[in-house]
Amino acid sequence: MGKILTVRLARLVATLFAVSLLTFLLVEQLPGDPVTALLPPEALHDLETIERIRAELQLDDPALVRYGRWVTDALQGDLGKSYITDQRVADAIRDRIPVTMELALLATVIAAVLAVPIGAFSAYREGGRFDRMMSGFTTAALSIPAFVAAIFFIWLFTLKFNWLPSTGWNRITDKGLLANLKTAILPASALALAPLAINARLIRADMIGTLKEDYVLSARAKGLRDRYILMRHALRPSALTAITVFGLQLGGLIGGTVVIETVFALPGLGTRLISGIYQRDVMMIQGITLFVATVYVVVNTAVDLLYLALDPRIRRQ
């Protein structure tokens, strides 16, 4: 285990290093001089000022030098300052990450909690009416783009029924949990559709296999109740696969929130990234992309390691 851990962590560091380089090089290609975006149009003829600002921002250094500086600062939690809004990128991320994290976590929870009964019952009555209905539902949920589902939810729950607000965000700290959930539940549900479908299918397939095992047969022979067998004997072996998949989804959802936040106009990391792109805000795009990719890689590695730690069969290999 110790050796695996070392190898995985070394690989993690190498990947993160390459990710930072790629992010930097990508956004470096943005056309236009950041200085021209910074100055009012009438000041653009003032070559002296432009030179001074270029020097201040150290824009004339070679790309590799600037990369080195950027990445060294990033390691100390400093992602630089937006040329456009003058805001520190790290502050922007700290401001907005709670919304994004809450959405991703809530979506993971919704997907996990609903998928277990759906998957288990579909497997229990394989080929039955419920199973076929759910197979239709999962196919649809996997295919409908999240932003389309989100807009449809807004139309249905806000405009038709007027149950929930369509935009805006209540912070838990300001307005309490209930008001917060009112603004979070629609976006999180839209986000949860695809992972819910994947989980339900996975649990169903896994349990169909488990229900054919001898120990389930012997539990039946002992006269145990079906529900008890389903929950205690059949679901447990599936838990391991489920945990891994849920974890991997959490990483994916952090990327998926980008568009959902935009649809609901939520003050999350995704909307900040999008507005950064509209404004050609180099530092903001670089910083947020690096941050999101880092979280994604770290979460995925952590889940992999957790899986190793949980499953003795794999650990021994």
Partner 1 sequence: MSDSETVIQTGKSSSKRNGFLTAISEMPVMVKLALFWLVFIVTAAIYAQIDLLLNQALPLQDPFHQPFLFGDASPVEGPSADHVLGTDILSRDNLSRLIHGAWVSLIVAVTVVAFGIVFGGFIGAFVGYVRGRSETVVMAGLDVVLAFPPLVLLLALVSIYKVRNLTLIALVFGVLSIPTYVRIARASTLGIASREFIQAAEAIGTKRRSILFREIIPNIMPALLAYALISAGFVIVIEGTLSYLGLSVQIPQPTWGNMINEGRRDIRRTILPIFWPGLFLTLTVVSLNMLGDWVQQRVAVRSSAL
Enumerate binding residues for partner 1 (CB under 8 A): 11, 14-16, 18-19, 22-23, 26-27, 29-31, 139-140, 142-148, 151-152, 154-155, 159, 251-252, 254-256, 258-259, 262, 273-274, 277, 280, 285, 289, 292-293, 296-297
CA–CA distance, 88 with 260 (Å, rounded to integer): 25
Cβ closest to partner 1, residue 47 vs residue 159? 159
Evaluate whether 273 touches 289 at the Cβ level (below 8 Å). yes
- Shortest reach from residue 151's CB to partner 1, in Å: 6
Residue whose pair of structure tokens reads 């609901």 in the numeric block: 264
CB 89 within 8 A of CB 82: yes
**Cβ-contact 287, 93 below 8 angstroms:** yes
**What is the closest distance, in whole angstroms, from the C-beta atom of residue 171 to partner 1 in the complex?**
25
Nearest distance from C-beta of residue 230 to partner 1, angstroms: 26
Minimum CB separation of residue 255 from partner 1 in Å reads 2
Residue at 99: amino acid letter = V
Minimum Å gap between C-beta 272 and partner 1 is 12
The least CB distance from residue 177 to partner 1, in Å, is 28
Nearest one of 135, 105, 250, 107 to 200, comparing CA atoms: 135
- If the CB atoms of residues 110 and 254 are measured against partner 1, the closer one turns out to be 254
Both tokens of 38, joined, read 């910074």
Query: Which residue is it, tokens 């976590």?
Result: 105
**230/299 with CB nearer partner 1:** 299
Between 145 and 168, CB nearer to partner 1: 145
Nearer to partner 1 by C-beta: 12 or 234? 12
Torsion sign over Cα 124, 130, 133, 137: negative
* Closer residue to partner 1 in complex, CB, 104/207: 104
Shortest distance, position 58 Cβ to partner 1, whole Å: 22
Whether 83 contacts 38, CB under 8 Å: yes
* Pick from 244, 260, 247: nearest CA to 100: 260
Query: Toward partner 1, which CB reaches closer, 164 or 216?
Result: 164
Cα separation, 164 vs 183, in Å, equals 7
SS3 at position 2: helix
DSSP character at residue 233: I
Work out whether the CA dihedral 21, 27, 31, 35 comes out positive or negative. Answer: negative
